[in-house]
Structure 1
């Protein structure tokens, strides 16, 4: 069975084993064919006008050779073949009795021009790299915009764990947000034996008393979940059991000891724009 379509990774992945061989021709690169055997094995071939009617070139197997890589390889081969044919057509036939001219040695500094196929490959790679950079920056900006709207710490955690941050600058406003989180922690928190308590209790306070105006009489499960997200976001994940135990046993004492500081924090947070103090 043969058919012509725009081949994509998603389309190929969705193909089910049928027990019959199939030949899918790519509508983007002429002559590029994905041959699927009855057992489900997928092989790339190139059918070119420079080859015989029943001849084709094996390019590789899928998924080792992706759709993008197969198109690039097929274009390179076509460019080489076309360049070869053009040289054959423009070659002047030797006249009878014409002496063969000795080949002149090229100077050492002679710069060989880039072959069309190599130039095409270089352009394709440059476009691919530029496209990847734009895609990564767009993903980072989308995550940050989502967090700014939802104030969901799970989104912030995903953003901080993204490998794209190693190659691209922080989205505008993200550094200030992280600094605000750090300002809420006491300077001596890292040196204390229970240094995580300040982070846990501050997050719990923000999602209970600061949000509702009163301290809950029983443990607030939604606030505990927010604490878990926050601790994971700063790289110090805690289990739900640990959080529940710390809050039930020590939050009340911490709340009394830090009442004055919490009142100041409440004034600062409630004065932040975009409702940041409510999340």
Structure 2
């Protein structure tokens, strides 16, 4: 393969990975999809491809749709053992974040809501909202009519009731929010933690240390009790962790997050999605396969002083 072909593909890799991630909600699957697209690009007669960017976008979109439609993917997601794979702020797979729509499209809340859509509705929504493609361009990419693209977009927006107050959360804001949350959790007063939650707050915690599957909680009092118990340090938890963990703060998928580490090794992440100044959703993740990319990215970076040096 000519070097110019490789360079052409590499110039689009980050954008393609960002597209695949929004479509699939999984960084691992997105990486595999982009690699499959590279193999197809390598095998294609590139001299006959007039607009490489459009060709590659179509291939990645269709490969992603094939994954969404696969029996294995449907089975995993129907049984409820699925959460979006989180990404640290600055990960190129997060893609564009200039507009409210682009920031929304990569939040864990919206990635979860996208599960309500058919694969084709999801593709139209992502291409339109996150990448600003026109309906004519989407119709060409998906081999549908312009009218069909408009209808799919309308249905998708109706199902995805995204919030419209998504601002840019920086490291300082994340540290302040997580700090207040930890103070309330360790205060010994459940009502302090409840006050930080919305009335319709939910918590979703994966199976690592909690049995199999996902645990879901939807009552603020119950959420507060579970989080207080989970965040209470004990000798048994330290032994299980392999030492006294440090608690850092970060921005993950646009939201404040708590990163728990031992010797700079990521053990768990807790992402706090905010609505109207309070915590609307808590995602707790400790399963190694779910936090693998965060762990890899974390090990490559310098970090501010931990919020708690020895938990």
Give TM class, smaller chain. Answer: under 0.3
Relative contact order: is structure 1 or structure 2 higher (C-alpha 8 Å, sep ≥ 6)? 2
Greater strand fraction, Structure 1 or Structure 2: 2
Q: Please, what TM-score do these two structures have when normalized by structure 2? A: 0.22
TM-score (norm 1): 0.24
Which has the higher Rg, Structure 1 or Structure 2?
1
